[in-house]
Structure 1
């Protein structure tokens, strides 16, 4: 019996396709699948877009993909899978996709890896007091007696608090496993059995912030998590602790965080803020206890190809008749970004 190969199309802006899908990243699709075009659909309503939609069984999407609503699904009668080569699917997957049982996959797990790597690097540097020691060396330009400045420097048996056992939070926990660190987690959806498998201790959010040398935020941005790190929690952070945010700025009371930093007994590593780019006059820029980075923790540069590989891998699973590894279900949307 002959086997008809499934058709695959891309849907995203051209600049996204160029960044995420270098030519070699699409090569593994063949011969198991038929890639209709290496040029992505940028407009679902264009004649070219409509022609590809009509034939597509699988749609690989990326950042900036147009909304896939009922009208688009009507134009894509064969479509059964949408594989997103990025994180959140909330911006382009319309209600009709869930209603028609289109199977959705996301590369959020792949995108979590560089964020976790960035976070672990910052945790290790924070406990070693590297940023503060480097700053002292740059300003004094003479011998710096690091242990006299920071007698507590080092990572041995320090406590690291992870807020949110999300995909990123779990990757951070995995990467921290070889270190001699005490890792605690606060997440209302983490069960005792899951915590045991992860090798961490569940604690309340209040206990976590009050007892951790480094606190790292990995909760999703949802209406229920806005300002979850509020003034009361910020006041409970240990003197000398470091607060790391690679999640979203709106999860933190930034005014309270700045006020605490300006007292001089708290350090902050912020890859995200609200607004996305702080006003030029923001004192976060100038305070020596703050390290600001411009949202670089997530996939950038050659890390983008990992997300392409994730989507291609899902397409190949479909071709083999296997279940999606990173399937997203409608009920997941209430708990994920």
Structure 2
């Protein structure tokens, strides 16, 4: 079996594909690595895919579209070490009968853990209380901290991360209001949760967490008008995709001190040094790290999938076409 690993040589590959996982992979066949420090261009990727049976992809890999797949006649499996496969996948890939799998479900647990951290950070005013205490003050934390217990939490979208977050929220006895047009009510069985409209989620939830996929339809899903429907004092948490929210309109709301936000994603990443978000005390900022602790599990997950594929065993993390079509579509420039 011939395997191509598209991740460039460097720190990212060392983190997500450590030596022990590389050895596991190399026991399965002839492995070729991208030994450059850059992502393969579309032409390079097309050339490298000739004769390859399994392609291991990662963040930044070019979309495996009809042109890139032109000579990939032997390709049978794409194993993605990230979560969403919307960037690397294509209808052409599925049309060719290639099986696609990823570490999406594994990463989702860690992202959900990050979101829970962000919610508690915002409610407890962790960033400001820490900064003021370090500066020699003794702030009034009694009147500036809130609890998550028995609160209403709004979900803009559900997805795998949202489902995992519902599990993590269970000990807090929260009531969840969920907006997701692709989810049936039965998906919420066993939770104190109900499906409702986006307007209801925004207007009735003191905590709102975004979990929608980024598609052409959801770009700026939370525009100025919808952000204006958030209740006064609401906490908005976004660890999904920055372009789900009109960032300029969000800055306006934050500058008016009407709402608070904890953000892990932005319209432009890295966040520009002169972004007004950096100056706002009611915005807690993280550098897109909600899923970072999953890094040690990503390659382990997809290599286990490759091993099952080789042994003709059922895969546990396959992404079927219909699921691919609903995943975040954050395109990489070619």
Please say whether Structure 1 and Structure 2 have the same fold, judged by a TM-score greater than 0.5.
yes
Label 1:143 to 1:126 Cα distance change in 2 as closer, same or farther (>3 A): same
For structure 1, the residue ranges without an aligned partner over 5 or more in a row are 1-5
Greater alpha carbon shift after TM alignment, 63-72 vs 223-232 = 63-72
Taking the aligned partners of 1:26 and 1:279, their CA distance within structure 2 comes to 36
2:188 counterpart of 1:195? yes
CA root-mean-square deviation: 2.8
CA gap 1:111/1:265 in 2 versus in 1, 3 angstroms: same
Q: Contact 1:162 / 1:215 at 8 angstroms: preserved in 2?
A: yes
Question: What's 1:320 paired with?
Answer: 311
Q: Quickly say closer, same or farther: Cα 1:65–1:136, change in 2 above 3 A.
A: closer
Q: Spell out, residue by residue over 1:14-60, the C-alpha distance to the aligned partner (whole angstroms, 9 max, x if none).
A: 235333211101344476x33x126347579779x75x842x43222
Answer yes or no: is 1:37 the counterpart of 2:31: yes
1:294 aligns with one of 246, 264, 287: 287
For residue 199 of structure 1, report the CA deviation from its aligned partner: 4.5
Structure 2 gaps of 5+ residues are 329-334
TM-score normalised by L of structure 2: 0.84
**Equivalence for 1:13:** 8
User: Which residue does the alignment assign to 1:213?
Assistant: 206
SS for the counterpart of 2:158 is coil
| Deviation readout 1:277-333 (Å, 9 max, x if unpaired) | 44444321111111122222233xx63231111211211221332222222233334
Offset from partner CA, 1:148-177 (integer Å, 9 cap, x none): x23x62222122212111122222222222
Counterparts of 1:75 and 1:315 in 2: how far apart (Å)?
22
Whole-angstrom CA distance in 1 between matches of 2:81 and 2:314 = 17
C-alpha contact 2:122 2:284 (8 A) present in aligned 1: no
Change (3 A) 1:101 1:258: same
1:182 aligns with 2:175: yes
Q: Quick check: 2:218–2:244 contact (8 Å CA) kept in 1? A: yes
Secondary structure in structure 2 of the residue aligned to 1:122: helix
Please give the secondary structure, in 1, of the residue aligned with 2:181. coil
Matched, 1:225 2:218: yes
Match of 2:111 in 1: 115
Deviation at 1:238, TM superposition (A): 2.2
Instruction: State the partner residue of 1:3.
Output: none
> Aligned partners of 1:76 and 1:287: how far apart in 2?
50
**What does residue range 54-73 of structure 1 map to in structure 2 within 5 Å?**
54=51, 56-70=52-66, 73=69
Q: What's the CA shift for 1:65?
A: 3.2
Instruction: Check conservation: 1:165, 1:185, Cα contact below 8 A.
Output: yes
The offset of 1:272, in angstroms, is 1.4
**TM-score when scaled to structure 1?**
0.84
Residue 168 of structure 1 is aligned with which of 150, 161, 164? 161
Deviations 1:58-112 (A, max 9, x none): 2222233345455665644432111111133343345432222111112222232
Q: Output one character per residue of 1:166-219: Cα deviation in whole Å (capped at 9) or x when no partner.
A: 122222222222223222221111211111145522222111122222111111
Which one is further off, 244-253 or 327-336?
327-336
Count of aligned pairs = 322
Q: Which of 293, 304, 308 is equivalent to 2:299?
A: 308
**Bigger-Rg structure (1/2):** 1
In structure 2, C-alpha distance between the alignment counterparts of 1:283 and 1:259, rounded to whole Å: 10
- Is 1:332 equivalent to 2:303 in the alignment? no
**Could you say if the C-alpha distance between residues 229 and 64 of structure 1 is closer, same or farther in structure 2, counting changes exceeding 3 Å?**
closer
